[in-house]
C-alpha cells in the first residue's frame, strides 16, 4: 500500500511539469480558428525539431490522434494537412517508443490514405513520414501489404519526383523481408519501375534503388533471371551493377552492387566463372574485408563473400589467394583492441558492439573458404591461434557466433589430415560434445554433422568420444522431429559401427533399441532410411557379429528387409538392402534365415533379372555368398542345420539360380559378368 501512495504523487509531479511546458502546444490544436490551429502546428514543428524530450511529452499529452484527425479532415487546408504530416514525421524521428505510439494510433493507414491526394508537396510529406516509420525495427512491415491497392499506387507515384522515388524505394528496400513480399513487388512491376532509377541524377535515389534490387534478388531465381535481361538506357542492368563496383564509387554503393551480383550469381542468373564475378565482384568483396574499412563494412563484406563462393570450389581457390584474405580475416578476432580501451571510450563501445558480428563473419567466411579444398583448410588451421579461436567460439554467449564457429569446424572436419592433426591436438571434441547438450536445432544440426566426421574410423577423436557416453546422445537425436537431426544421429552411429568391435555394436543396438531401429527403417525421409540401412550393414559386417546379431534379431531384420524390397523405394535404397542381405548370407548360421525363406529367395531371383545393373550385382552377391564352398558342412550338420554348401547349392539349382547365373556370365557389364562367373565356379569346386 505504501508503495502506491509514494508513487502516485510522483507521477503527478512529473506530468505537471510536462503539462506546464507542453500543454499549450496541444491546446492550440483545438482552437476554433483554423488560422490559429495552423500557427499552432507550425510552432509545434519548430519546438520538436531535435528535441526528443519535447516529442515524448507531446505524444504523452495526446497530440498524435489530434494531428491525425486534422490530417484526414477534408475541411483542413492543404497547408495545415501538410504541416501535420511534417510534425508527425518529426515525432517519428525520435525514439522507438515514439514510433510504437504512432503505429498504435494507426498512423500508417492514415498516411497511406493521404497519398491519394493530388498535391505533390503533401504526398512527399506523407511519404517522408511513412519512410521514417517503416525503417524502424519496431514497425511490422506486414502493414505495407495489408491493403492490396497500396503497392500499385506507390509504383504509380515513383514518377512524380526525386523525393517520391527516394522515399518509396527506401520503403520497399526495408519492407521486402520474405519470398512473398518479393513476389508481390515483382508482380506489380518493381523491376521495370525501379531499374531506370539506377541512373537518376540523385545519389540517394540511385542508392535506394540499388538496395531494392539487392533485397528483391536475394535467394530469388525468378527475380534474378529477369534482371539479367533488363536494359537501362541501352545498357544491361548487371553491367550497371558492375560499374557501381568501381573503387571511386562510395563504399556503400560498391557493397550493395556486389550483393546484387552475388545474389544473381547464387540464383544461377550469372555463371560463377563470368568475369563480372571473378574479376569484379569477388575482388571488391575481398577489399571490403581489409583493415581500411569500417567494422560494419567488413562484416557485410565477409558475409556476402562467404555466400558468393559457398558452392563453388574455383571461387574459393581464387579468394584464398586474393590479397592475403586468410590472414586478413585473423584480424577480425582482435576487437575490441587494447589500444582503443585506453584512448577512446566511444570507440571501445563501438568495437564491443561489433566484435561478435566480426567473429561471426570471419567464421562464416572461413567455413565457406575451406568447404572443399584441402590446401585452403591447411592454410586456415595454420593461421595464428585459429583452432583455439574456434574452440572458444563454440562456448561464446552469442548463439550466432557459436553457430558460425561450429559451421567453420564442420567445414574443416571434412579433411582427413585435419582430423588426424589439429582436431586431435586441440581436443575439439570436448567443447563440441558440450555444445550438443540442449542447443537450439540449427546449432545441433551443424554440431552433429561435425561429430559424424569426428567418428570416422581414421579419426583419433573417435575413441575418447566413444568413452564419453556419446551413444545415448546420438540415439536421442534419432527420435527428433527434425529429419536433419535424425539423419545426423543415425549417420554418426553408422560411422561409429564401421569396423567397430563387438562391444560397441552391442551397445549401439542396446541403446537404440530394436523398436526404434525398425521405426527408422520405415522413416519417410529417404536419407534417414539410407543411413539406417548403412548402420545395419555395418553392424552385420564380420561373421561372428553377423551370426550374433541375427540370432537375437534375425526375424525382425528379415521382416524389415522384406518390407523394403517389396515397397516403393529408390534403386539406392534397394541396393543397400540387398547388400545387407548379402552380408547375412555371409554369416555361418545366419545364412539359414535366407535358405529357409523361399519367399526371400524368390525376391533375390527377381532382382538378379532386374533391369538395373546395381541391383543385379547386389542380388548376385547374395547368391555367391550362399553357395560359397567352405569346409562348413560337417560342423553345421552336427548342429542340426540343413547341410553345408552342397545342400544349399542343390536347393538353389532346383530353384533355377544356376540358369540365371549362366545367363549373367554373358552380361555386358564386366563386374556383373565376373561376379556370376565366381559364383558358377563354386558349383564346379
Average pLDDT of span 267-291: 95
The percentage of residues in the chain with a pLDDT greater than 70, rounded to a whole number, is: 93
User: Strand 235-236 and strand 231-232: pairing?
Assistant: antiparallel
Distance CA 248, CA 409 (A): 38
**CATH annotation of 544-629+643-684:** 1.25.10.10
Biggest CA pair distance of the chain: 118
Other CB atoms within a 10 A radius of the CB of residue 17 amount to 11
Question: Residue 516: which region, alpha, beta or left (left: phi > 0; alpha: psi -120 to 50)?
Answer: alpha
- For the stretch 192-204, pLDDT in tens is 999 999 999 999 9
- For the stretch 447-500, pLDDT in tens is 999 999 988 878 888 888 888 888 999 999 999 999 999 999 999 999 999 988
Give the start-to-end residue ranges of the domains of the chain. 544-629+643-684
Cβ atoms of 154 and 114 closer than 8 Å: no
- For the stretch 536-551, pLDDT in tens is 999 998 888 899 889 9
Average pLDDT of span 578-603: 91
Task: Write down the H helix ranges in 29-62.
Answer: 34-48, 52-60
E-only strand ranges, 317-380 = none
Distance CA 614, CA 280 (A): 46
Distance CA 255, CA 64 (A): 39
Rounded to the nearest 5°, which phi and psi values hold at 570?
-70, 165
- For the stretch 370-406, pLDDT in tens is 998 889 998 998 888 889 999 999 988 889 999 999 9
Residues 405-417, buried b or exposed e (16+ Cβ, 10 A)?
Answer: bbbbbbbbbbbee
Amino acid at each position: 500500500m505504501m508503495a502506491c501512495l509514494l508513487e502516485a504523487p510522483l507521477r503527478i509531479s512529473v506530468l505537471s511539469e510536462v503539462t506546464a511546458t507542453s500543454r499549450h502546444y496541444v491546446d492550440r490544436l483545438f482552437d476554433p480558428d483554423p488560422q490559429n490551429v495552423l500557427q499552432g502546428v507550425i510552432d509545434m514543428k519548430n519546438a520538436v525539431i531535435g528535441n526528443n524530450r519535447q516529442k515524448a511529452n507531446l505524444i504523452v499529452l495526446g497530440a498524435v490522434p489530434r494531428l491525425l484527425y486534422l490530417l484526414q479532415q477534408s475541411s483542413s487546408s492543404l497547408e495545415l494537412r501538410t504541416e501535420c504530416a511534417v510534425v508527425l514525421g518529426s515525432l517519428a524521428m525520435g525514439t522507438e517508443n515514439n514510433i510504437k505510439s504512432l503505429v498504435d494510433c494507426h498512423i500508417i493507414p492514415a498516411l497511406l490514405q493521404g497519398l491519394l491526394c493530388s498535391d505533390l508537396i503533401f504526398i512527399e510529406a506523407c511519404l517522408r513520414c511513412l519512410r521514417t516509420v517503416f525503417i524502424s525495427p519496431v514497425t511490422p512491415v506486414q502493414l505495407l501489404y495489408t491493403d492490396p491497392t497500396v503497392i500499385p499506387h506507390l509504383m504509380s507515384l515513383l514518377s512524380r519526383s526525386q523525393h517520391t522515388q527516394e522515399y518509396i524505394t527506401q520503403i520497399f528496400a526495408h519492407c521486402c523481408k520474405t519470398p512473398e513480399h518479393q513476389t508481390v513487388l515483382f508482380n506489380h512491376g518493381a523491376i521495370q519501375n525501379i531499374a531506370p532509377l539506377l541512373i537518376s541524377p540523385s545519389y540517394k535515389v540511385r542508392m535506394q534503388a540499388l538496395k531494392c534490387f539487392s533485397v528483391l534478388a536475394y535467394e530469388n531465381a525468378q527475380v534474378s533471371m529477369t534482371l539479367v535481361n533488363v536494359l537501362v538506357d541501352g545498357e544491361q542492368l548487371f553491367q550497371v551493377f558492375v560499374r557501381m563496383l568501381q573503387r571511386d564509387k562510395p563504399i556503400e554503393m560498391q557493397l550493395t552492387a556486389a550483393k546484387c551480383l552475388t545474389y544473381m550469381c547464387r540464383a544461377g542468373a550469372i555463371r560463377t566463372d563470368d568475369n563480372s564475378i571473378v574479376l569484379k565482384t569477388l575482388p571488391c568483396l575481398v577489399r571490403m574485408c581489409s583493415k581500411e574499412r569500417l567494422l560494419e563494412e567488413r562484416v557485410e563484406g565477409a558475409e556476402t563473400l562467404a555466400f558468393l563462393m559457398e558452392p563453388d570450389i574455383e571461387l574459393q581457390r581464387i579468394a584464398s589467394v586474393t590479397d592475403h584474405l586468410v590472414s586478413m580475416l585473423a584480424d577480425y578476432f582482435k576487437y575490441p583492441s587494447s589500444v582503443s580501451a585506453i584512448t577512446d571510450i566511444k570507440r571501445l563501445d563501438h568495437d564491443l558492439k561489433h566484435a561478435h558480428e566480426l567473429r561471426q563473419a570471419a567464421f562464416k567466411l572461413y567455413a565457406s573458404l575451406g568447404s572443399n579444398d584441402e590446401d585452403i583448410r591447411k592454410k586456415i588451421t595454420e593461421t595464428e591461434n585459429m583452432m583455439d579461436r574456434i574452440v572458444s567460439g563454440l562456448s561464446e554467449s552469442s548463439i550466432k557466433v557459436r553457430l558460425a564457429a561450429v559451421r567453420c569446424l564442420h567445414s574443416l572436419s571434412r579433411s582427413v589430415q585435419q582430423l588426424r592433426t589439429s582436431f586431435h591436438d586441440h581436443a575439439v571434441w570436448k567443447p563440441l560434445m558440450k555444445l550438443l547438450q540442449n542447443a537450439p536445432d540449427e546449432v545441433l544440426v551443424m554440431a552433429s554433422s561435425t561429430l559424424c566426421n569426428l567418428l570416422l574410423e581414421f579419426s583419433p577423436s573417435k575413441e575418447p568420444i566413444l568413452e564419453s557416453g556419446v551413444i545415448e546422445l546420438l540415439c536421442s537425436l534419432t527420435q527428433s522431429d527434425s529429419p536433419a537431426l535424425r539423419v545426423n544421429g543415425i549417420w554418426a552411429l553408422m560411422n561409429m559401427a564401421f569396423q567397430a568391435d563387438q562391444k560397441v555394436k552391442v551397445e549401439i543396438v542396446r541403446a537404440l533399441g530394436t523398436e526404434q531401429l525398425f521405426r527408422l527403417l520405415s522413416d519417410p525421409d529417404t536419407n534417414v532410411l539410407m543411413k539406417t540401412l548403412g548402420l545395419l550393414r555395418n553392424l552385420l559386417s564380420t561373421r561372428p557379429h553377423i551370426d550374433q546379431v541375427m540370432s537375437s534379431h534375425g526375424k525382425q531384420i528379415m521382416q524389415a528387409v522384406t518390407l523394403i524390397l517389396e515397397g516403393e523405394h529408390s534403386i539406392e535404397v534397394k541396393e543397400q538392402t540387398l547388400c545387407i542381405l548379402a552380408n547375412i548370407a555371409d554369416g555361418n548360421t545366419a545364412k539359414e534365415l535366407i535358405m529357409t525363406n523361399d519367399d526371400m529367395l524368390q525376391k533375390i531371383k527377381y532382382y538378379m533379372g532386374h533391369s538395373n545393373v546395381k541391383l543385379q550385382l547386389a542380388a548376385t552377391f547374395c547368391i555367391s555368398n550362399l553357395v560359397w564352398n567352405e569346409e562348413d558342412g560337417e560342423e553345421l550338420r552336427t548342429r542340426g542345420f540343413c547341410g553345408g554348401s552342397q545342400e544349399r547349392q542343390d536347393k538353389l539349382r532346383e530353384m533355377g539360380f544356376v540358369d540365371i547365373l549362366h545367363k549373367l556370365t554373358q552380361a555386358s557389364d564386366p563386374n556383373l559378368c565376373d561376379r556370376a562367373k565366381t559364383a558358377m565356379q563354386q558349383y564346379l569346386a
